[in-house]
């Protein structure tokens, strides 16, 4: 079985379209962290029935974001094994915006829907810690004035936060982080920019 690369840049319209689905984004995110797994293992991690994943996996395979890497024996039957094409998947925003601006916006909307869904599920669980040093749940929104020179530091912080959960599977609890940075009121130019 060939190993997946560590980075894959999403730039094709087909790949963007595949990622407009929150379910497919979640499957791809988890596969990237788990490595090579069966559908049963993926389903157990996601808390979903296996048969609910096959449709989405076929689309992700056709888009070139997931690989079917063979089978292994599970009892009397072989089970298919899948993995993400890379542990780190990034969108080329320049190219994606030129190819399909609407799909790029839909991908971001799906990310936010996943974050909202996960937050709603977590807030209902009394086992989730919501305060103190080991807090597991937090939503925040800040609006503020940034100068162009501030952006590299903000982007670096976002990258560090994103990579803090991008560790190989194994021990610990699976967490999701959803981050969005966007300029507001672009028409009005600030004298401080």
Q: Domains of the chain: which residue ranges?
A: 5-137
- Yes or no: domain 5-137 corresponds to CATH 1.10.10.10: yes
Tell me the pLDDT tens digit for each residue of 146-161: 999 999 999 999 999 9
Please provide the average confidence, as pLDDT, over all residues in the chain.
Answer: 89
Instruction: Put residue 67 in one of left, alpha, beta given phi > 0 → left and psi -120 to 50 → alpha.
Output: beta
- Cα–Cα distance measured from residue 163 to residue 78, given in angstroms and rounded to the nearest whole number: 34
Per-residue pLDDT tens digits for 11-23: 889 999 999 999 9
| Contact assessment for residue 6 and residue 32, using Cβ atoms and an 8 Å cutoff | no
**Alpha-carbon separation of residue 64 from 19, 95, 128, 140, 184 (angstroms):** 11, 17, 36, 34, 34
Q: Give the pTM.
A: 0.85
């Amino acid at each position: 079985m060939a190993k997946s690369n560590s980075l894959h840049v999403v730039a094709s319209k087909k790949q963007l379209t595949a990622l407009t689905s929150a379910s497919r984004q979640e499957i791809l995110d988890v596969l990237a962290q788990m490595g090579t797994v069966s559908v049963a293992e993926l389903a157990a991690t996601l808390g979903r029935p296996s048969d609910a994943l096959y449709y989405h996996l076929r689309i992700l395979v056709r888009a070139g974001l997931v690989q079917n890497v063979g089978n292994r024996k599970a009892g009397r039957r072989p089970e298919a094994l899948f993995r993400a094409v890379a542990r780190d998947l990034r969108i080329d925003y320049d190219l994606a915006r030129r190819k399909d601006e609407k799909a790029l916006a839909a991908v971001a909307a799906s990310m936010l829907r996943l974050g909202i869904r996960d937050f709603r599920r977590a807030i209902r669980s009394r086992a989730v810690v919501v305060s103190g040093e080991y807090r597991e749940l937090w939503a925040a929104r800040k609006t503020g004035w940034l100068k162009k020179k501030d952006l590299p530091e903000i982007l670096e912080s976002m990258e560090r936060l994103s990579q803090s959960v991008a560790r190989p599977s194994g021990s610990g609890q699976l967490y999701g982080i959803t981050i969005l940075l966007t300029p507001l009121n672009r028409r009005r130019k600030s004298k401080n920019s």
